[in-house]
Structure 1
Amino acid sequence: MSQLIVPYITSWSAEQEIPSRVVELPGIGIGYANEMFGDRDAQGVLWLRSGVRHGVGKPEFGKVHPLRQRRAMRKLLCQVCAGPADLNDDGLLWLLRDYRSDWTGWPDGMGCTEPPVCLPCASVSLRLCPALRRGAAAVRVRESVVAGVRGALYRKSPIGPVSAEDVNVAYDDPDIRWVVASALIRELRDCTLVPLEELIEQRYAAHKR
């Protein structure tokens, strides 16, 4: 029987969101009523609280664990195995849904929440990931800047802050003080599209060495 491959950033059924009351902090934005050290990142942004029980229960494919996604994006780790992402002279390797018809030069300048990948895991992902089977693009990225977060934007109300919508927010946007983040965003720059066939050839060449 083949071994089940579960990406590092995937949430498990034992890792449920920790119920937390969001309150307004006058002049600051929002916070947790019982806020603790570690609830905010180095830029002061509030993050979603989630249990950390990696590998316990059943994998919830399609649901990303916020802290592991943040770690993988911050350290540029492979989203599948958590090892170093593949790097060559053209840059780090990203495997993305193919949206090159969205604009000329895609994905240059795109805000991305998917961490990069290593070569072996790229081959596995192309084979097994349902989203990528609908159309995938391999991209080498020479520069990726931590630019902001994706999360729930809160608004004032008579009963206190209420979640209004999911948004992508830059770190220099004042609205970020009203966001509970669930994913870190990097802006991809100086990108080169790599034919998937070439990526597979690189994988086999690396395997033979």
Structure 2
Amino acid sequence: MPTSAKQHPADKTAQRPQVVPYIAQWSAEGSAPRPQVVTRRGRIAFVDERRYDRDADGILWTRVPFQPGKGTPQFGHVHALRQRNAMERLLCHVCGRPADSNSDGVLWLLTEEPRCPPEGGSGDVVTEHPPLCLPCAHIAIAACPRLRHDFTAVRVRAFERAGVRGALYQRATPHPVPIDVVSVAFDNPAIGWVRAGKLLLRLTDYQPVDLYAEDHVPTDERSLLRP
């Protein structure tokens, strides 16, 4: 669930988001030392690798502590496990509850290229952003400058796992070193050299919708701000 961000009483002019997104990282989660990366069996690995460091496809994931609500919210950083959980379970990336779904599909807000064509469904869209519930979609638009500027609301009827986004490493002595942040498809051999931080989904069947014409749009904005 989202956690309310407290405003310092001495700063009456500061305007901070009232809701911390479910997928946002907290300072206590980002302060832990990262495990050393080594080369093992022709791919990167953690020197003290644990069973849960890799997913069912054998992809190495960023190891991040799970301490939501501890410290201060890091709005520019995404918690790898919660982002992946939201993508796989179709959870709203703001509140962590199930995303809005009806007969037309699951609700997403898109800002990245390629943009969704007006008629919908005539070109795949790959996204790193999880879906949303309807109340939180309005919260996100109000809180995010990029969304306020431009977004496309879509109902998605079909999607598939596309790949991951994360740090790409190259061989080096004595240990491999990160050289770039990339998006890599599951069938790309380079994925063995990526420390994943985000799961990517490919939206294959979708239709743009008028978000403000959707049913049960809340009329009292205060009802959108969940503790």
TM-score, normalised relative to structure 2: 0.82
Partners of 1:81 and 1:121 within 8 A in 2:
yes
Q: Which moved more, 1:3-12 or 1:148-157?
A: 3-12
Using the TM superposition, name which of 33-42 and 107-116 deviates more. 107-116
Q: Does the 8 Å contact 1:18/1:50 carry over to 2?
A: no
Equivalent residue letter for 2:61: W
Question: Does the CA-based 8 Å contact 2:114-2:125 persist in structure 1?
Answer: no
Of residues 78, 99, 111 in structure 1, which corresponds to 2:92?
A: 78
Structure-2 residue corresponding to 1:31: 45
Give the aligned CA root-mean-square deviation in angstroms.
2.4
In the aligned structure 2, how far is the partner of 1:88 from the partner of 1:185?
Answer: 22
Task: State the AA in 1 paired with 2:136.
Answer: C
Name the CA distance, whole Å, in 1 between partners of 2:89 and 2:115: 30
Could you say what secondary structure the match of 2:82 adopts? helix
Match of 2:225 in 1: none
Question: Within 2, Cα distance between the matches of 1:94 and 1:107?
Answer: 17
The one-letter code matched in structure 2 to 1:116 is P
Counterpart in 2 of 1:179?
194
Which residues of 2 match residues 160-199 of structure 1 at below 5 A? 160-199=175-214
Q: Among 114, 132, 149, which residue is 2:147 paired with?
A: 132
Question: Aligned AA for 1:9?
Answer: I
2:24 partner letter: T
Could you tell me which runs of 5 or more consecutive residues in structure 1 were left unpaired when the two chains were aligned: none
2:92–2:98 CA contact under 8 A, matched in 1? yes
What's the counterpart of residue 44 of structure 1?
58
Q: CA 1:197/1:3 → structure 2, altered by over 3 Å: closer, same or farther?
A: closer
Give % identity: 44
Measure how far apart 1:106 and its partner are. Answer: 7.7
1:157 to 172, 187, 196: 172
More strand by share: 1
Number of equivalent positions: 204
CA distance in 1, matches of 2:187, 2:147: 32
Range with bigger deviation, 48-57 or 89-98: 89-98
* Superposition map of 1:56-135 within 5 A: 56-97=70-111, 99=113, 108-135=123-150
Instruction: Name structure 2 gaps, 5 residues minimum.
Output: 1-6, 8-15, 220-227
* Counterpart contact for 1:72–1:79, Cα < 8 Å: yes
- Cα deviation, residue 155, structure 1: 0.8
Per-residue CA deviation, residues 98-125 of structure 1 (Å, 9 max, x unaligned), is 6566878588412211000001111111
**Is the deviation greater in 169-178 or in 17-26?**
17-26
What amino acid does structure 2 have at the position aligned with 1:44? G
Cα distance, 1:190–1:55 mapped onto 2, change above 3 Å: same
Whole-angstrom distance in 1 between the partners of 2:112 and 2:186: 26
